[in-house]
Structure 1
Amino acid sequence: PSTISGYLILPIPLPSIPSVPPATHYLYVRRHQPKLPTVDDDRSLFVVNVPADSTESHFRKLFNAIGGGRVEGVRFEGEKEAGGKGEKKRKRDEEEEEEEGERDLPSVWEREVRRSGATAVVVFVDKASCEMSLKKVGKISGKVEKVGWVWGENVGGPELGFSRYLTHHALTFPSPTTLQPRIDAYISHFTRLETLRAAALARMRGQVDEDGFTVVVRGGRSAPAKMEEARAVLEKKRKEDEERRKGNLGFYRFQRREDKKEEMRRLVERFEGDRRKVEDRKGRGKFR
């Protein structure tokens, strides 16, 4: 059959391998009709069952081989779509993440692999190109020999197979010489954002809004001031601990009691000594 459930069947010959017989992969194509319309729907085709190694270059080559229109881009399943109602919100979120200094980690895969039965939206440069491509697909639907192009032929890009996993390992565990500049750049960026945030909070502190209320800024004083204050407190406590250990100030109660008893004993001994001196002088007639 040339169609199934409203989809045109587009057979694609796969590259031949000596160990297996020739194989054909089937794409299912129709107009793009999403539940939430977008501005690109009238120049887009919806494709089901894209090969696992599909890239934008593959679809450019495919539609060029069958005499279709010029492809502007391809959105594969799972990728973020541009436009639509949520675009403004996404942009706001991205701007907030930019301000917070958050960055997406670099990809550790040089090339994506599609899941079995995955879908894609092929966007053409204009509506006429889309109509022409759909018409060409309809003419060759179900006829392998009319495609005239083997999937992946003359398509460049990162290699798959064992090379893909070697590259993945190298990207997952970068060398220190590669990693250190990224770390330095991140720390510099984070420090700059913290400085800007502290300056913004300092400007806002104590301001009065249009209703006459004083603006309360979360966080109190700036982070550098807090750090200096904390260091001063820790240094003071450290010195006190050292003096207490060296001076043996008698922290416990029984030690204080013993110190008081010793002091009273010395006072009594001094008093008795003075009293004996006075009596001795009286006996020798030195006091009148």
Structure 2
Amino acid sequence: MYRFIARRLGSGVVLVAALTTLTFFLLYLGAGDDIARQLLGEEADEAAVRAKERELGLDRPIVTQFAHWLSGAVHGDLGTSWFNGQDVGAAILSRLSVTVSLVIGSTLLTVVFATVLGVVAATRGGWVDRVVQVAGVLGHAVPNFLISLGLVLVFAISLHWFRPTGYTRFAESPGLWLSSITLPVLALAVHGVSGVVQQVRGAVVDELGRDYVRTLRSRGLSEARVVYRHALRNAAGPALSFLGVQVVGLLGGAVIIEQVFAIPGLGQVAVTATGQGDVPLVMGLVVVSAVLVVVLNLLIDLLQGWLNPKVRLG
């Protein structure tokens, strides 16, 4: 098991390193030679521009800049924002818990609803199966922002069950916090459930057709025990693999969802930093997002290895 974890951690470190290296060179090379002038304005004189370049370290070779940034990043220093002078790590950490709560909440809902609906569709068949499959296709096809607007119109404006926008931190009021993240989490979970339910349904159908299931039934085991204790456990592998892909989609979808619901998470920071061309802040967001994806996928791999020992041996 330890070797299995070490392999997964090693591949995650390689992924983060490759992604951050590629992103750094693309951002700094794509920003052009007039970064300092963009920061100071077109009216700035040449002396001020050159002084700003020296302040930001932009007068050094790009390889030297990368080595300096990497040295700081390894020690937890992601640099300083070019526009507001705020520490990048502090700016991201202040918003990280918001986005993580959305992603974790939507992931939990995805697992629960996709499992229940997938098993029901696979065991019942007929019109129930067709309804679940059609709903899955439609839910995956509708954009996140349309789902969000629909939820706001129904549950916030018409029924007045939730606030349409805004966010309350858990420390201030747990009840208001739960109310403020419910609609965003549901909006994110719709896409997750729509994708994973097809995988669960297909995997369970395949398992129910195998010889060991017929043997278990012939021994008199109840259908519920056959399905939930044996078939579902063996079918969890493909569904969990697809869930890992969906987690990346949930992080990307959170950017849009946070804009729709005016939630101060990483999505708002990403949109602002990208629009301004704040390269250090964008780099920090890339690093943190990559680490989040690696950690979440590692947890999914561990769960998959626990369910299926063949994964650990492979």
Give the structure-2-normalised TM-score.
0.17
Work out which of the two has the higher radius of gyration on C-alpha atoms and give 1 or 2. Answer: 1
Question: In proportion to residue count, which structure has more strand?
Answer: 1
